[in-house]
Structures are given as structure tokens and as C-alpha cells.
A and B are shown apart, each in its own frame.
Chain A
């Protein structure tokens, strides 16, 4: 079964810390992996998309890496800020004719001043 797992489920850090969110997936045959952020009561905001041929993508203070062979991706957030507090979701499009995103359960991040 194609599944996506995120660790940790929740994380609380002081402002200014660099942090890493982890995502693992059960099948290395993927098209791409996408990281989202979800704020309470709101929809999803796309942060980064990594194609299967890429190793990493960067946007501002965010850096996402992809290691297909080990079935892992990490989202690195530099110099965290209270405004980064949200739930971060990892989602994968697996190969095999499927175009849907399979989501992890998310990591709830709280950055306190």
C-alpha cells in the first residue's frame, strides 16, 4: 500500500531555531513530492514541489530535500518565526498511473516568541 508518514506529529520550538520536518513514503517510484502548509480553518498553501529527478528545492527560508532511494524527504526551516506556526503536510504523487496526492498526517508546528 502506498503511504506517507510524517514525524514528528507535533513540534514546539522557540523563535529563531532551525528545524527539520520529516516525511517518509513507502514506494520509491514517485512522480513528485509536495510540501504544503495549512493554517487553522483555511485551505492549503503550496510551499515547494520536488520532481522525482530533483534532489532539493529552496524558497526563502525553506529547503526541501528528496531521497527517493530511501523514501524520505525533509523540510528544513531556517530561523523559525511565530508566523511559521501551522500544520505542515507532505504529499506524494506515486507512479503507476495515479495522479492524486497521497498525504501524510502532518506535523503541527508551534513557534513561540
Chain B
């Protein structure tokens, strides 16, 4: 596609449920990133994938968060046993190579009740 796409655009869930967020990067982009933006706060890095290298998971806030990427295609971010503090906009970005311009998707707005 022309840009990074994410689904769903909005997700409302109950505390304790698991959620799965999807990111489709720009075709040919080898690097993929997940960020989080909580209300009134700045963007926080979560995880980064580069080709077949081991992902950089240094930003994941707890072991309830995990992410996968198959090759250089789709990525899913999974949050298990959601908590209210997980409510945020989850943004995905991709770049052709590492340290090049990152292009962001529209985000998934997650609300945990």
C-alpha cells in the first residue's frame, strides 16, 4: 500500500481482556517500530524489528506486552490482561532501512474500561 496501515482504528475492551493490534508497513520497508502515546504525554518507544535480527524490546513496559513480525511484513502487538493504564494510542512506523525516515500509521486508539 501507499502508507503504513493499522487496524483496528479504535478498540474498546474490558480490563483483563487480551487485545491484538495489527500493523501493515510500507512494502519494502525492512524496519518496523511500535510506539505508544498516552493522553497528554509524549510518544514512547516500545519495540523495533529490523529484518531477521532479534527485535529490540527495550521499551516494552511489562511482560504483558509482546509483538511479532513475520519477515518484512505484518506485525502484531499483543497486550495480555489489559489494564486501564494501557489506554493509549498505539502507533506503528516503518522505514526503508534503519535510521532512515520513519513513516507512521494513523494509530490504534485503545480504551480499557
- Verify if B50 is at the interface (C-beta below 8 Å from A): yes
Q: Contacts A31-B99, A34-B102, A46-B103 known; A103 to B42 CB distance under 8 Å?
A: yes
Write the residues of chain A forming the contact surface with B, with a CB cutoff of 8 angstroms: 31-32, 34, 36, 42-46, 49, 89, 91, 93, 98-106
State whether A101 touches B91 (Cβ < 8 A).
no
Stretch at the interface among B14-22, B63-71, B78-86, B104-112: B104-112
We find that the number of chain B residues with CB closer than 8 angstroms to chain A is 26
Residue among B33, B35, B99 with the highest chain A CB neighbour number at 10 A: B99
Which B-chain residue is minimally distant from A32 (CB atoms)?
B99
Chain A-chain B contacts (Cβ-Cβ < 8 Å), number: 55
State whether B42 touches A44 (Cβ < 8 A).
no
Write the residues of chain B forming the contact surface with A, with a CB cutoff of 8 angstroms: 4, 31, 33, 35, 41-45, 48, 50, 56, 58-59, 91, 93, 98-107
State whether A44 touches B104 (Cβ < 8 A).
yes
State whether A99 touches B104 (Cβ < 8 A).
no
A13–B22 Cα distance when bound, in Å, is 39
State whether A99 touches B98 (Cβ < 8 A).
yes
